[in-house]
């Protein structure tokens, strides 16, 4: 009886041990499965973070390109951004070759992208400051241009006034011939004024005084005499001292010339012209010029 009672006890003990082992196996299996599931989820998360980081690197590279262009356009220093862009592109290319991710890599990528984002925010502020500075400089430049324009206008006005004054002075300083007399001098030296016969004119004498002019400078002057016949033709003979001069932009003939020193003394000047042949009949005119302008004129008649 005693041995038969021990058999059920041993059987129960074995069953309990088997149950405990089974429970432990099941528990370990569940734990392994849960750990596996957790690892798979973490790996999936890390891989997602890796792809996100790749996209973020592309975005950062594009933003750096924009910032470099803006700052360069505003005249800022782009050396630092250019260097960072090279680093970002190198890291991005390395990420493209990365197939697996872990916690350490993801933490590193987060730190780096956050650092780059902070740099971009700082550059946004720098761009704002550069824009404000350029706006201010443009205002100052506009003001300077307006000042320069006003100055140029004042200079032009002064130049115009100067030219106008010079023209007035030039006109005011012109010399005038007054008390002009025209005489026919015959072979015996006798003078006749007014109307002459052609045969009475051995020499033509033209005398006049240079009017006083306090504006005109004391200087040497070349005086030109023009003798015109009734048809307006100038008596001209190079052998007897005739030549040409510029009058109103055109080349004209003169009959005779002489050099005098204008001294503002109301000095008298005389031309004695030997034509060498008879004068044409009709009304004649003598004109006196200097520096291209007319000093005075007088008419006489040859019968």
pLDDT digits (tens, 9 = 90+) for 188-246: 999 999 899 988 899 999 999 999 999 999 999 999 999 999 999 999 999 999 999 99
The structure tokens listed for 37 are 């599931």
Of the options 3.90.1410.10, 3.40.50.2300, 1.10.3720.10, 2.60.40.10, the CATH number for the domain spanning 177-302: 2.60.40.10
176 and 213 Cβ atoms separated by less than 8 Å = yes
- 293: CB partners within 8 A, 6+ apart: 174
What is the distance between the alpha carbons of residues 274 and 188, in angstroms, rounded to a whole number?
14
Write down the pLDDT at residue 263. 96
CA angle 293, 299, 302 (to 5 degrees): 135
Write down the pLDDT at residue 48. 76
Write down the pLDDT at residue 202. 92
The structure tokens listed for 183 are 């005489």
Span 239-285, pLDDT tens digits: 999 999 999 999 999 999 999 999 999 999 999 999 989 999 999 99
Using alpha carbons, select from 230, 240, 250 the residue that is nearest to residue 277: 240
Percent of the chain whose predicted confidence (pLDDT) is above 70? 89
What is the distance between the alpha carbons of residues 286 and 228, in angstroms, rounded to a whole number?
6
Q: How far from 231 is each of 107, 219, 252, CA to CA, in Å?
A: 113, 35, 15
227 and 273 Cβ atoms separated by less than 8 Å = yes
Q: Where in the chain is the domain with CATH 2.60.40.10?
A: 177-302
Write down the pLDDT at residue 37. 64
299 and 230 Cβ atoms separated by less than 8 Å = no
The answer to whether residue 38 scores a pLDDT higher than 80 is no
Write down the pLDDT at residue 211. 96
* Segment (H or E) for 272: strand 268-273
Write down the pLDDT at residue 9. 64
Q: pTM of the prediction?
A: 0.51
- 216: CB partners within 8 A, 6+ apart: 173, 174, 175, 262, 264
């Amino acid at each position: 009886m005693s041995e038969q009672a021990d058999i059920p006890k041993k059987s129960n003990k074995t069953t309990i041990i088997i149950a405990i082992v089974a429970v432990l196996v099941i528990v370990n299996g569940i734990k392994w499965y849960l750990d596996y599931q957790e690892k798979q989820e973490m790996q999936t998360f890390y891989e997602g973070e890796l792809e996100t980081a790749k996209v973020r690197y592309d975005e950062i590279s594009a933003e750096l390109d924009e910032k470099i262009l803006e700052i360069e356009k505003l005249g800022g220093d782009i050396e630092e951004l250019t260097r960072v862009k090279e680093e970002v592109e190198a890291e991005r290319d390395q990420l493209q070759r990365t197939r697996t991710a872990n916690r350490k890599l993801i933490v590193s990528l987060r730190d780096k992208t956050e650092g780059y984002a902070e740099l971009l925010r700082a550059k946004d502020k720098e761009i704002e400051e550069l824009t404000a500075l350029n706006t201010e400089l443009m205002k100052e430049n506009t003001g300077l241009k307006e000042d320069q324009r006003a100055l140029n206008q004042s200079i032009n006005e002064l130049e115009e006034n100067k030219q106008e004054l010079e023209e007035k002075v030039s006109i005011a300083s012109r010399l005038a011939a007054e008390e002009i007399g025209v005489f026919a001098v015959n072979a015996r030296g006798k003078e006749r004024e007014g109307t002459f016969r052609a045969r009475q004119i051995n020499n033509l004498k033209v005398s006049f005084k240079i009017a006083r002019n306090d504006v005109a400078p004391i200087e040497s002057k070349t005086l030109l005499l023009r003798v015109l016949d009734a048809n307006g033709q100038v008596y001209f003979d190079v052998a007897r001292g005739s030549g040409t001069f510029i009058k109103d932009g055109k080349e004209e003939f003169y009959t005779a010339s002489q050099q005098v020193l204008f001294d503002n003394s109301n000095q008298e000047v005389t031309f004695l012209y030997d034509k060498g042949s008879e004068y044409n009949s009709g009304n004649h005119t003598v004109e006196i010029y200097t520096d291209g302008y007319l000093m005075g004129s007088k008419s006489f008649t040859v019968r």
